[in-house]
Structure 1
């Protein structure tokens, strides 16, 4: 589970990230990111009914939450992320979701490996 200070909770927070941030789409998810959001790195999840019934949506959310938690330390402090699941996420494995998440983070320049290759300090 994500720590309380690492969660987006209010619709205004989600709206600010989704409208004001960068966006990268992958097969199973869309990642929205907004830099300089605050002191802590925060994440939120959007899993609509298009993904599946309640059981499927909650399973996808739990998988995504676990994957994002493992990557929070590699994302620059103060970044807000919104992970929006697409319908193919319902049948995807955690490995596939993780690969899509990693690819999206790299594309946005938010993964630790990308920043090290560019000579930035973490």
Structure 2
């Protein structure tokens, strides 16, 4: 999925999106990649929870069958929820045009 779709990078994260020509799923699906480069377990889970909340607000507006992978980068550890939201919406807007 990551190799075939489109990608947009921001300072704190990278968003990969695959929009199939014929939707095989009724809803969109999202996956998260938060590696050890982001921080220890506590920091990684905090980033994951913030990203999950940000994506939940936008998920219903995505075209049906869209597959999304959000990969957090090391600077995401110090980012606030609003900074992560701004990066995500900006990257998603670029990929979906």
Aligned to 1:38: 24
Deviations 1:75-110 (A, max 9, x none): 111100000000000000000000000100110126
Structure 1 runs (4+) deviating above 4 angstroms are none
SS of residue paired to 1:27: coil
Structure 1 unpaired stretches of 5+: 1-16, 111-122
Aligned to 1:95: 82
Q: Select the structure of larger CA radius of gyration.
A: 1
Aligned to 2:61: 74
The two structures have a TM-score, normalised by structure 1, of 0.74
The two structures have a TM-score, normalised by structure 2, of 0.92
- CA deviation after TM superposition for structure 1 residue 19, in Å: 1.3
SS of residue paired to 2:30: strand
| Larger RCO (alpha carbons 8 Å, 6+ apart) | 2
Structure 2 unpaired stretches of 5+: none
Q: What's the RMSD between the two structures over aligned residues? A: 1.1
Q: How does 1:44-55 map to 2 (within 5 A)?
A: 44-55=31-42
Structure with more helix by fraction? 1
Aligned length: 94
- CA deviation after TM superposition for structure 1 residue 38, in Å: 2.9
Between the aligned partners of 1:34 and 1:92, the Cα distance in structure 2 is 26
